[in-house]
Chain A
Amino acid sequence: MRRLTPYLLALPSWMWLAIFLVVPLAAMASVSLQTGNVIDGFVMTFSFGNYGDALGTYSTQLVRSLGYGATATAAMLVIGYPVAYWIAFKGGSRKSVYLFLLLLPFFVSFVLRTISWGFLLADDGIVLGTLKSWGVLSADFHVLATSFAVIAGLTYNWLPFMILPIYVSLERVDPRLVEAAQDLYATRGTAFRKVVLPLSLPGVFAGVLMTFVPATADPVNAQVLGGTGNTMIGNIIQTEYLVNNDYPTASALSFTLMAVLLVGIFVYARVLGTENVLEAAAR
């Protein structure tokens, strides 16, 4: 009985993950190779051409999504690192207050947050409207429906996910190490580059993982903040599935997106020198 305990404990979750994660991914792989339509049904024809067709039609959106995701992730890193640094080293007794303030956006629905953000950026909204009435901006200046608005929205929505892991790794850095470096005549800059930065890299690694994947695959920011010229792969997959009912094309696109992201993660892990992505993520 004792020996069986872990298996019994794990059984319900195993079943859930097998039936609703593994089987669906297999179903999607199978659908991506089928042909047909929603009225007559779909038949397995092993048509690998689906991938070529889907990519031929939507490579622009796929490349654009990867570009937006990468740009937003880089922006989060540049914007977020100093915040994590300041809270970790200078936050003092109020560290948890700062962290709480950073987490406040998560108490508002993601969709609603993005809409409010679009509201702030509206052509005649609070910010642009005021600047226009002061004559600082020309009347036809706009931010919404530009790639900048979408990237800014992605950056806004996932910024705390970048700051928190970096904060956690910086918080573990012993300040005496920095003092020691300075005692050994390192300047502030050198001490940061040679001591603090390397020790914070696991946090940077985790932060990039936690933000790049969801930002690249997100359909909401492009839909709410972008115009027709900024559709991302997420919007295409949604439309193909839910509006056009073209399941094979949508499945092929979903698989391509997942494959590209997985390859990206592994290449990135290699470059950063982390031997085992699973281990790094599990920590």
Chain B
Amino acid sequence: MRGVRGRFGDRLLHAYTWLIILWLVAPIAVMIAFGFNDKQSKSNATWQGFTLKWYGELFAIPDLSDALVNSLLIAVASTIVTVVIGTMLGLALGRHRFRGQGTTNFLVFAAISTPELVMGASLLSLFVSANVPRNQITITIAHVLFSLAFVTVTVRARVVSLDPSLEEAAKDLGAGPWATFRQVTLPSIMPGVLAGAMLAFALSIDDYVVTSFVNGSELTFPLWIIASVKTGIPPQVNVMGTLIFGVGVLIAIVNAVAARRRT
């Protein structure tokens, strides 16, 4: 029954899968390539030869550099806050039974399913109504908000999969609640916490929609790029994108190799 036709179908699907992967990575290849483009005119639209010039002049556009620094600082700050309070909530939901648990689950679901646009718009409504000036702090507040639920869900999944008898054993051996947490619970949920941290960082550094509402006059990396679409994207943006891409891929690979070693 599954002779030649079956094998032919498999090959076709195999080729198709690669075609889709190619489609997904094509724009990345374009981004990387045009960071090496020796452009002479104002626009960076046609290939004019290879150069490393833009890597040397990476910080030649002060506004762009400021925007990138803003993005990095906000990503670090929001990741720290999100990981701390999101891990706490993940522990509460995964390990304990308490009143209001259903409501909390609903809030977490609402935070994930609210469209970014609505989240940004409603935060702006609040800040405008309460006369809060918009700056890096309001951006950080917004980033914590949209990452929080993702970190919570990631940590909760890890907590639920743990064997509670480990913690009981620690208690039986005379460890107090804090020692039990630090020496037993925290190390065993660490993979979930780290995954949540990476997710929060990635979501923050990538965000355009929510940030565009609460930024005031501050620009982040994605906002600077959108603002310069009309005048033409300078090659430095491609270089920064390439470097962020490279670091991200490197961390992911190191992480995957480390995870394989552990098992």
Contact = CB atoms under 8 A, between A and B. Distances in A.
Interface string B100-125: 10001111111111111111011111
Given A10-B104, A21-B111, A160 B1 contact: no
A150 B167 CA distance: 52
Which of A160, A254, A265 neighbours the largest number of chain B CB atoms within 10 Å of its CB?
A: A254
Contacts of A27: 122, 125-126, 129
B148 A6 contact: no
Contacts of B125: 24, 27-28, 31, 247, 251
B14 A86 contact: yes
Given A79-B20, A100-B252, A115-B229, A257 B118 contact: yes
Which of B129, B248, B252 neighbours the largest number of chain A CB atoms within 10 Å of its CB?
A: B129
A109 B222 contact: yes
Contacts of A255: 118
B202 interface: yes
A156 B145 contact: no
B60 interface: no
Contacts of A258: 114-115, 118
Interface majority SS (helix, strand, loop, mixed), chain B = helix
B206 A10 contact: no
Contacts of B26: 120
A31 B169 CA distance: 55
A9 B89 contact: yes
Interface residues of A, number: 85
A282 B123 contact: no
A134 interface: no
Interface string A61-105: 000000000000000000110110111001000001010111011
Contacts of B129: 27, 30-31
Which of A80, A241, A265 neighbours the largest number of chain B CB atoms within 10 Å of its CB?
A: A241
B115 A217 contact: yes
A250 B91 CA distance: 38
Interface stretch (B50-58, B186-194, B207-215): B207-215
B256 interface: yes
Nearest to B101: A6
Contacts of A10: 88-89, 92-93, 98, 100, 104
B226 A220 contact: yes
Interface string A243-260: 000010011001101100
B115 A116 contact: no
B105 A217 contact: no
A112 B115 contact: no
A9 B13 CA distance: 48
A108 B121 contact: no
Which of B104, B110, B125, B252 neighbours the largest number of chain A CB atoms within 10 Å of its CB?
A: B125
Interface in B242-256: 244-245, 248-249, 252, 256
B10 interface: yes
Contacts of A188: 1-2, 6, 9
Given A10-B88, A82-B13, A20 B126 contact: yes
A219 B209 contact: yes
B237 interface: yes
Contacts of B106: 278
23 contacts: A6-B96, A6-B98, A12-B84, A13-B85, A13-B148, A17-B145, A82-B16, A82-B17, A83-B17, A106-B202, A109-B225, A109-B244, A111-B222, A115-B229, A122-B45, A218-B117, A234-B117, A234-B209, A237-B117, A237-B121, A241-B213, A257-B115, A258-B118
Q: Which 5 A-B pairs have the closest CB atoms?
A: A116-B27, A6-B96, A24-B122, A9-B92, A217-B115
Given A17-B111, A90-B10, A242-B212, 18 more contacts: A5-B96, A6-B95, A10-B93, A13-B104, A16-B145, A83-B20, A104-B25, A105-B24, A108-B31, A109-B241, A112-B222, A115-B225, A116-B28, A156-B27, A251-B125, A254-B122, A265-B113, A281-B112
